Amino acid sequence: MLQCTAVTLLPPDAVLRLTAPGADGPEDPEPDVLCELGTHDKQRTEHAAYLRPGRTPDSPALWFFWTGSGPERTHRAESTPWCPALLRRLDSGAVRRCALFDHHPASHSWDVTDPLGDLMAERLVPGDSPEG
């Protein structure tokens, strides 16, 4: 399943929450966020973007949720527990956790493909630098 392509600007209150004293978020957060879910019904399902981790790996993380665009956009930022789903590879014993929030719609993170990220990763080679 392809990743949702919805992008939105973070509202000032979400940026303030990320940069508040004692927050574990980035000092200068990105001004816009990309939905991390697989493709979904954009009219009935909220978009979701991961903002920052909880205090421990198992603590709820801060997520930004939104629907609509322009003046009709509604949004919220809240700490949400992680999805408990695990993908176990029997041949190697590897265990992979879903990187989305609990009760997320659509597919688990391991089933979501980011075509742009994949394209960029294909072009990078060891020792390559932006200077050429």
Using alpha carbons, select from 64, 100, 62 the residue that is nearest to residue 80. 62
pTM of the model: 0.76
Compute the 3-state secondary structure of the chain and give helix, strand, coil in percent, each to the nearest 5.
15, 30, 55
State the residue for tokens 């992979």. 96
List Cα–Cα distances, 130 to 97, 115, 116, 123, in angstroms.
Answer: 33, 21, 18, 12
At 27 the pLDDT is 56
At 46 the pLDDT is 94
More confident site: 60 or 13? 60
